[in-house]
Amino acid sequence: MGRIDTGRSAAAPTAVVTGGNRGIGYAVAARLLAHGHDVVLVARDRERGEVARASLAAPGTGTVRLVVGDLSTVPAARATAEALRGTCPRIDVLVHNAGLWPSVREVDEDGLERSFVVNHLAPFVLNHVLEPLLTAARARVVQVSAGLYLRGQADPERTPRGLDFHPVRTYADTKLCNLLLVPRFAERWKDAGVTVNAVHPGVIRTGLGDRRGPVGLLIKAAKLLWKSPATGARPVARLALSEEVAGVTGRYFHLEREQPLAPVATDAALARRLWDQAMELTGLAPSPPPAAPPRSAAGRLSP
């Protein structure tokens, strides 16, 4: 678990973008840089991550750094979170963009289905491990979601291990698991000034869901009609930057419009069960919600 550090501007806010080396994540990183943020890309592949870092770096913009980290197993996600803690003195924006849409069931050494880890447990781990940094900065957390959550079925007995695996619905199932916990994080962080919101960025032309063979060719052809990653980045960056949504938390947005969650994503008992299960599966120790960071006598946050 390594990192490439090229220095940073002490005054600039810091944004972390998972899956930031391509697609929507790369485009979000570019927008954040253009708005004066230093950006930390999280990418699994060092070479591709470094290519993205070098491509984004430009005179007159913020610093771009790379943390090489895998989010497909719980131990790797925890190691990635620790690498970020060692890299970032504070985090003002955390964008959970990394996602996985598998075509076949794959389980890790712990017997957990990989997209369940990447789409659900990894953001859970990062939110908890990075919580002190988020609290100190009164950060904005943005979860890139999917409108397909509507077709999801979160089964705590079967979904974690892919016992209900389906090449289409599992993506919806795991995104639903993640979305069910967004209001719970909002409640946890309400007094600490940290906001968290989820957004469906639209049907975007990225590598997500690519397949091999004839089906893959059909998908590739269909994607020619889909919108660009730059278009998909706009509603994500808006939640990270816009004053219009400052203080808004626990909400779901379809593009730039807030939408009420469908009943499938508002089951409080199921959300509580998934939260407790995630704590157990990740080995995290329960802790009380964070308090608001101290303020100086002038009313501003203490450094």
pLDDT value at residue 137: 96
**Percentages of the chain per state (helix, strand, coil), in multiples of 5:** 45, 15, 40
Give the active site residue among 26, 149, 171, 252: 171
Q: For residue 53, what are the contacts with CB-CB under 8 A and spacing of at least 6? A: 4, 6, 21, 41, 64, 65, 66
The whole model's pTM is what? Answer: 0.88
Domains of the chain: 12-282 (3.40.50.720)
pLDDT value at residue 4: 34
Residues of the chain below pLDDT 70:
1-10, 203-227, 295-303
pLDDT value at residue 285: 93
pLDDT in tens, 45-66: 999 999 999 999 987 788 999 9
pLDDT value at residue 223: 40
Asked about 26 being catalytic, the answer comes back as no
